[in-house]
Chains A and B, each alone.
Chain A
Amino acid sequence: MDDKTVRLSGISIKNFRGIKEANIQGFSDINVFIGRNGAGKSTLLEAIYLASAFVNEKDPLTSELRINVITKRRTDREARVDKAILWYSLNTQYPIQLVLFFTDGKKIDLECPYQQTLPDRIWIDIDKIYEKIRDIPSGYTHFNYSSAQLLNINTNTYINVPRLRNAFFRVFKKEIEFLNNVIIIDEKILRHPEVLEQKIWLKILAKRLDKKIIEIMRKSYEKDAEDLSYVPMSGTYCLVLKLPHTVVRVDDLGDGARNAVLLTAYLLLVKNTIVLIEDPEIHQHPGGLFSILEFISEVAKSNDLQVFMTTHSLELIRLIKKIAEEKKIGLRIFFLERENGIVHARIIESVDLDIIQDLGIDPRFLDLF
């Protein structure tokens, strides 16, 4: 990481999904969250993703509103979901609060009040930025960078103030650039190659990043993979993997191979931002997992990415530790547990990981100690 880049050093969360309160500090270049089911691992990823909606309310991969992505992420139901499900205990009386801490000492205090009549936005309380940004029109209580809007929460009215956006950018330039392209990669997006096909593929091809994807395919999935191509099939166009004697739609590859194609493509496109990856071990043979983790580490370095992953896999923990040591990239493992809505995090340093495993303690069961 050079002087031009900034990183997330910590996050504080209140009233979001199953998290009443959480304060987690000490983030590194690659961060792995482990813990029992329901510990808050995925919610932590979503909190970071949601906070980035303050800067850019649309997902850079799908162009969908980030708040909608979060609201619909965990379900395949078609029916409209009330965003109240994002509030802890559905208690919309209090706002969701997210505080982002950065490695340059700055912090951004965000909140999302439940407002039935207004667009879903992430706001910053004016009081929190008043010292840094002047000439804010009076009577307004909150500011959203993405839409350049000031909100009066008491009257439910808002105005557009582009100059305030510029002022905010001058103060928080690095942080805004860093949060602008935050992406979340989960099983949902990995089941839909059409996102890659329709929105991303041209960008991949324009930079010939497809060669890198083929490299990964040959390493651990299809050793004879020749190329990726976009061909007409069944009345539409699909991405296919070219093999010596046939072509296979990316949809029809094995789940592990398909996930590898999509994950590598998405990671190659983003720079100087945060990548959130949920359980990358799903459908992966250890060989494939190693290739993916090695790729993630390499691109994290080359593209200035800060990576946050959740996992239940001891193999992933062992492999990423080895890879991080070899590639000299910072790694931190956080064990999470949640009690009465409060999330506690324990940092497991690399040296501690070796020791506790020597003693017969599985780091995924740290809640027993």
Chain B
Amino acid sequence: MRQLKPYEESFTVMARDLTKKFDCIILCEGKSDAEILKILNRRLNLQLGDNVAVTHAEGIKNLLELAKYISALARISRRLKLIGILIDLDNETPSNRFQRIKNSLNAVELDLVNVNILSSQLYNGLLKLDDRSLDIKIALAGLMDLPFQKHMIEDYVVKAAIINGTISKSLLSKHSDAKTLLSAQSISINEFLTKVGIDVLKKSFAHLITMLEETKRVI
């Protein structure tokens, strides 16, 4: 799995090797999301190779902006077989969030068809372009069963920390979201995920692991 940012690192890799092509690009909302995916791939040995690129949008302000990113990627790519999207649920239900994403894609003249619901928060579809179709997988990050106002990828880290005994369930009600909770407990996400047990990772991140495995299956 190849991270496209920071630019200076990925530039050297790309300049060095004329033959490497990307079949898939996974677009995350923020830097921490991309880091988490990389750690999962490495620690769980998911074997997503050099033909998968991961990047982030440095915090998408709204869904229309996300749609513009997807539209640009779809238009300018020739080789991509799949675009993966990882976006936080925020304060919406999965079905609402997905519908709003679909509407945003329509607003930039992208047609999302053949939609399959792979799980409650993982959607699969086809983007119809002028000359071809492109697979798209949309993973909505967050755990609805955690009592936060806003749901995000950090929910999975909190779940892992609870299973691991690093934090107590009683703290959940004291914070509006997982990021705030983890920050208050001075938990470094990358450090924690690098050290926590594999079983804990599998239990906590089951949803995202499914997305990555589905990605591997398509490409």
A contact set with B: CB distance below 8 Å: 36, 335, 344, 346, 348-349, 351-352, 355-356, 358-362, 365-369
Contact = CB atoms under 8 A, between A and B. Distances in A.
Interface string B152-178: 000000000000000000000000000
Contacts of B57: 358-359
Contacts of B80: 369
B76 A360 contact: no
A77 B58 CA distance: 53
Ranked 10 nearest A-B pairs via Cβ: A360-B4, A360-B5, A355-B72, A369-B77, A352-B72, A359-B55, A365-B14, A360-B55, A360-B7, A368-B22
Contacts of A355: 68-69, 72-73
A22 to B, nearest CB: 15
Q: Which of B10, B20, B56, B72 has the most CB of A within 10 A?
A: B72
Given A358-B58, A359-B69, A36 B76 contact: no
21 contacts: A36-B18, A344-B78, A346-B78, A352-B76, A356-B72, A358-B57, A358-B58, A359-B5, A359-B55, A359-B56, A359-B69, A360-B3, A360-B5, A360-B6, A365-B15, A366-B76, A367-B21, A367-B79, A368-B22, A369-B53, A369-B78
Contacts, number: 64
B87 interface: no
B101 interface: no
Contacts of A335: 76
B77 to A, nearest CB: 4
Contacts of A367: 21, 79
A361 B55 contact: yes
Given A355-B69, A369-B22, A362 B7 contact: yes
Given A359-B4, A368-B20, 16 more contacts: A335-B76, A344-B78, A346-B78, A352-B72, A352-B75, A355-B69, A358-B58, A359-B25, A360-B4, A360-B5, A360-B10, A361-B4, A361-B55, A368-B14, A368-B21, A369-B79
Contacts of A349: 75
Nearest to B6: A360
Interface in B74-108: 75-80
Determine the interface band of chain B, counting residues with CB < 8 A from chain A.
20 to 34
A356 B69 CA distance: 8
A362 B11 contact: yes
Given A346-B76, A346-B78, A352-B76, A362 B14 contact: yes
Interface in B44-61: 53, 55-58
Interface in B139-194: none
A248 to B, nearest CB: 37
Contacts of B68: 351, 355
B212 interface: no
B78 to A, nearest CB: 7
B194 to A, nearest CB: 23
